[in-house]
Structure 1
């Protein structure tokens, strides 16, 4: 069966005869005899149970049986199915009755007679699309489950095996990989050679391809785990091939891969919103190629994960989807947008990229950077913790197993001036009491001004807690995020390339805190050192943090020399520095008269650092002089 350029071209086999049919005639080619089969008026209107002959006749071409052109090119067309054919008496032969199934497709002007191929794993809004296309005169071709879903709803649909005259095979691996499908998609309507080839082979044009792919993402990232064989079977082959073919021939074939585009497609096919112009076709084609590229990137990433030993891939493609256009970038003159990483590595990684915003103004470029910094820092801690961030640096961090409200207050008090207008993050749900404290807490600087924040982010909120927090400000952005997982990929762009590294996600239990001084820290001092070490990982280098009793007292960040960062941190810690722990993100190049000695003189009880300097012994000797403990970790934590 095929339909070409407004002519119905049909071939069907019944008994030992080959039939071709138009709205006026059936022709039977059998041996050396030929005869006419009549079609009733009802058949011409679409009710194709034919029996009554007609004497009206239209010109037809009868070609030798078995030849390449063994079919009829007829002058009329209609849509329908014929189950019973009656061959009239031919010469002295008796009448022959036979049973067959003939599918007939019409081509016409506008949408009349056009064909749409639907093959969908995600059947969202399938009926909306199918009904709309049917109303516009499209004939529907479909595969497997999509065809069954349409038939269940009473919609006329032609299964793809009736187009190819070839059954699905190899457990469904081969369905649409056939010239009868891809010829109909790829043929350029303006080239007579292409259209003649379709006529010669009885192939009909396909004018719309709507396909989405096997759910590879959800299959290979399922919590219960996926075997290699299951992953392989969820790699779609036929779908991407049809999408690419339709996208290549987008001047003649529309291609849709996203259910969100169905309404717009139908609207334009009805002639609204500028109709189906070339710009619309190209946008759909771009989206189709991008869709397939993202899918293939996920497959390649997964296969690399199955075969590599943790080394970096020699090449990679990172699929990203625009989540939102931002008002501007870091500064008003810079254009910006936020893209969600759709790679498998990020698929279940949690974090700000997949956070839900419950309230407040739209997120800005800087909001995303600050929220990400706050969330990554607070996720370092197991104990209930509050982190306050300003310009991506934690200016306040405090933990408490018994009183989270007090932890919040301590985090703000660490640097109340910087905390004002900052981002607050919690690693535990926000309930009504905590929300009320966030709403009403006064700045420690004057005891009167309510603290102002850009963002609050937490793993969840109670219903009442969310209600109370929304009352703080219409502008306050309230985010709900999932904890970030370990093993994330980190990319940083430089001119002409990208830097790739694994995340700095070491925990205290992953490293050894080695005592290198005469004095060893007490258990309490060791815990303070580990707390300061957790904090310093998230401060811009050169970084120094000072902590005591589960809270950060001060930090120095981003200074070109380490001693200046130490001086800033000591000044912020003020009188509380006595008996505290100091952490450095890298080794101390000098000790005497430098950061180490200044910390000892200020009253720091324990210093934790990576070690590795050629002057490590100077640092140890300095600590021994002042009775300060020093720990080496062997691990550096630069952050640029």
Structure 2
């Protein structure tokens, strides 16, 4: 392979014309011949640049509404020819093919067209054919051709040309080829995903996933693991679309935990009042509603003050100064909210290491989407858990029915349990968690751990009784035996929400009746592994 290759001819054909004029002018000033198509050529001519039409290069006009313009041997031959292979050079000379040293192409805005809700015909017209074909050709021949697919790389190209006296190094061309193949792969992923959705195909034979790098992380879950953060391009509000206003760079664990907190707080609509979620190690350790945001935070904090230290705080409404003062009293890793008042920003400015994120609204928890997990040799793909219940969806199975207030607490606890690692147990009272048991191999252990944490908080807050007294309890899956339910009753729970469906449901219902509990079945579970 050759190393530095001079750029004498460049083909420019872009949909996103950001920075195109400056790039083209800089190339022209270095004596590069510019070849272009359609709108790109018109724009450059309007800027006073001399541009050769692709039609002039190929001898064929653009046709079929622009569908056919670059799919021609004189284009692809100019991109694919090996300049150090005599038979390739002879073929170029015999067929009037001119070498192309630089290809600058970005693709039709397919992803943006789909996101904008365009009709099927418009979406199909925005499936690029010639662009990916040229990109793949130039990338394959990176020994001789440089390819750029994004305006972000224009400056790097011009710096490279300055350093090499008008050319590109092999290392640069390899790096750009790698980026280009990644771009075409992501593009094809977007197209295939859209087509699967159009045909309502939940499990297509081939499934691909793509992302654009947002951030290279210092390390992964542990310091010996490398990591990076990618956006899937969906624009879904959350950690991938949030703006970091201050604080240290987000770590892998920060991102993972903040996502867990934000997804849960998005379950609570702002129109229903303030809500706060505190997460530690991807599990909520405190969740509450309140009449004010400060009250919601304080009630969430009082669920488990020990675990809240060094945690993640997510809010469903604007972060105000009073709430910021309360949060600033302890060490907090990240705070994320859909709006942040100036007073709150001033308060957090004193906490230089605290990461403050502004989210573009809350996530739509009812919107369909995919959850993907890698396993050895493959991927597990499922629909996102969008399960949501109202009081009318519940079935009372005990002699005693829940009161209206208990029913509100049961639905609140059920919402939180959806976001707790299985086996999940959540005690709640007055729309605030008072005990959370997560991730245990035994459901009864989760029940007892949550109750133990409530006892610890009773001692810390000098309460006359544990906060689980008079609470309700949610279980993400059915109680296989009555022991877990009885442990909850011993902790002071008065009402229970669980999926039901165990072969011992009758035994569990009988135990609830004997203990004087009200219990409802959801008919739906929320495993979270």
TM-score (norm 2): 0.93
Structure whose alpha-carbon radius of gyration is higher: 1
The answer for the alignment partner of 1:305 in structure 2 is: 197
The answer for the alignment partner of 2:305 in structure 1 is: 416
What whole-Å deviation, never above 9, does each CA across 1:227-264 have from its counterpart, x for those lacking one?
Answer: 11001000111111111111112212211111111111
What whole-Å deviation, never above 9, does each CA across 1:11-46 have from its counterpart, x for those lacking one?
Answer: xxxxxxxxxxxxxxxxxxxxxxxxxxxxxxxxxxxx
Query: 1:274 Cα deviation (Å)?
Result: 11
Whether 1:294 aligns to 2:186 is yes
Runs of 4+ in 1 over 4 A off after TM superposition: 109-112, 272-275
- Kindly tell me: are residues 476 and 272 of structure 1, through their superposed partners in 2, closer, same or farther at Cα, counting changes over 3 Å? farther
Verify the 8 A CA contact 1:136 1:270 in the aligned structure 2. Answer: no
Whether 1:177 aligns to 2:71 is yes
Corresponding residue to 1:134 among 14, 28, 33: 28
CA distance in 2, matches of 1:252, 1:315: 33
CA distance in 1, matches of 2:203, 2:485: 38
The answer for the alignment partner of 2:459 in structure 1 is: none
Helix, strand or coil for the counterpart of 1:367? helix
What whole-Å deviation, never above 9, does each CA across 1:185-210 have from its counterpart, x for those lacking one?
Answer: 22221222222222222222211111
**Taking CA–CA contacts closer than 8 Å with sequence separation of 6 or more, which of the two structures ends up with the larger relative contact order?**
2
Whether 1:228 aligns to 2:120 is yes
Corresponding residue to 2:130 among 213, 238, 244: 238
Corresponding residue to 1:453 among 313, 332, 351: 332
Query: 1:511 Cα deviation (Å)?
Result: 7.5
Whether 1:263 aligns to 2:155 is yes
The answer for the alignment partner of 1:436 in structure 2 is: 325
The answer for the alignment partner of 1:217 in structure 2 is: 111
Verify the 8 A CA contact 1:349 1:488 in the aligned structure 2. Answer: no
| Map 1:341-420 → 2, pairs under 5 A | 341-342=232-233, 347-382=234-269, 383=272, 384-400=274-290, 402-420=291-309
CA distance in 2, matches of 1:629, 1:541: 23
CA distance in 2, matches of 1:603, 1:416: 21
Verify the 8 A CA contact 1:378 1:425 in the aligned structure 2. Answer: yes
- Kindly tell me: are residues 238 and 511 of structure 1, through their superposed partners in 2, closer, same or farther at Cα, counting changes over 3 Å? farther
- Kindly tell me: are residues 149 and 550 of structure 1, through their superposed partners in 2, closer, same or farther at Cα, counting changes over 3 Å? same
The answer for the alignment partner of 1:44 in structure 2 is: none
Corresponding residue to 2:62 among 153, 164, 168: 168
The answer for the alignment partner of 1:639 in structure 2 is: 528
The answer for the alignment partner of 2:370 in structure 1 is: 489
Whether 1:580 aligns to 2:479 is no
Taking only aligned residues, the RMSD between alpha carbons, in angstroms, comes to 1.9
The answer for the alignment partner of 2:47 in structure 1 is: 153
Verify the 8 A CA contact 1:432 1:468 in the aligned structure 2. Answer: yes
> Comparing 150-159 with 375-384, which one deviates more in the overlay?
375-384
Corresponding residue to 1:557 among 433, 438, 457: 438
Helix, strand or coil for the counterpart of 1:339? strand
CA distance in 1, matches of 2:115, 2:76: 32
Matched length: 510
Query: 1:273 Cα deviation (Å)?
Result: 10
CA distance in 1, matches of 2:472, 2:294: 24
Corresponding residue to 1:320 among 192, 197, 211: 211
Query: 1:578 Cα deviation (Å)?
Result: 2.6
Corresponding residue to 1:545 among 382, 403, 426: 426
- Kindly tell me: are residues 274 and 211 of structure 1, through their superposed partners in 2, closer, same or farther at Cα, counting changes over 3 Å? closer
CA distance in 2, matches of 1:156, 1:275: 21
Helix, strand or coil for the counterpart of 1:508? coil
The answer for the alignment partner of 1:477 in structure 2 is: 355
CA distance in 1, matches of 2:297, 2:11: 58
> Comparing 456-465 with 526-535, which one deviates more in the overlay?
456-465
Verify the 8 A CA contact 2:213 2:230 in the aligned structure 1. Answer: yes
CA distance in 2, matches of 1:136, 1:385: 60
Query: 1:337 Cα deviation (Å)?
Result: 1.9
Verify the 8 A CA contact 1:182 1:245 in the aligned structure 2. Answer: yes
CA distance in 2, matches of 1:380, 1:504: 12
Whether 1:284 aligns to 2:176 is yes
Verify the 8 A CA contact 1:111 1:136 in the aligned structure 2. Answer: no
> Comparing 328-337 with 379-388, which one deviates more in the overlay?
328-337
Query: 1:111 Cα deviation (Å)?
Result: 4.6
Helix, strand or coil for the counterpart of 2:67? coil
- Kindly tell me: are residues 510 and 250 of structure 1, through their superposed partners in 2, closer, same or farther at Cα, counting changes over 3 Å? farther
The answer for the alignment partner of 2:502 in structure 1 is: 613
Query: 1:469 Cα deviation (Å)?
Result: 2.3
CA distance in 2, matches of 1:231, 1:498: 28
Query: 1:125 Cα deviation (Å)?
Result: 1.0
Q: Which of the pair is proportionally richer in helix?
A: 2
Query: 1:339 Cα deviation (Å)?
Result: 2.1
Verify the 8 A CA contact 1:456 1:478 in the aligned structure 2. Answer: yes
Which runs of 5 or more structure 1 residues have no equivalent in the other structure? 1-108, 440-449
Whether 1:339 aligns to 2:226 is no
Query: 1:301 Cα deviation (Å)?
Result: 0.8
Which runs of 5 or more structure 2 residues have no equivalent in the other structure? 456-465
> Comparing 275-284 with 121-130, which one deviates more in the overlay?
275-284
CA distance in 1, matches of 2:398, 2:67: 67
| Map 1:184-199 → 2, pairs under 5 A | 184-199=78-93
What whole-Å deviation, never above 9, does each CA across 1:481-529 have from its counterpart, x for those lacking one?
Answer: 2422322211111121111111112122398210000001111110011
- Kindly tell me: are residues 308 and 511 of structure 1, through their superposed partners in 2, closer, same or farther at Cα, counting changes over 3 Å? farther
- Kindly tell me: are residues 317 and 110 of structure 1, through their superposed partners in 2, closer, same or farther at Cα, counting changes over 3 Å? closer
CA distance in 2, matches of 1:557, 1:516: 26
The answer for the alignment partner of 2:346 in structure 1 is: 467
> Comparing 245-254 with 234-243, which one deviates more in the overlay?
245-254
Verify the 8 A CA contact 1:111 1:138 in the aligned structure 2. Answer: no
Verify the 8 A CA contact 2:5 2:168 in the aligned structure 1. Answer: no
CA distance in 1, matches of 2:83, 2:144: 7
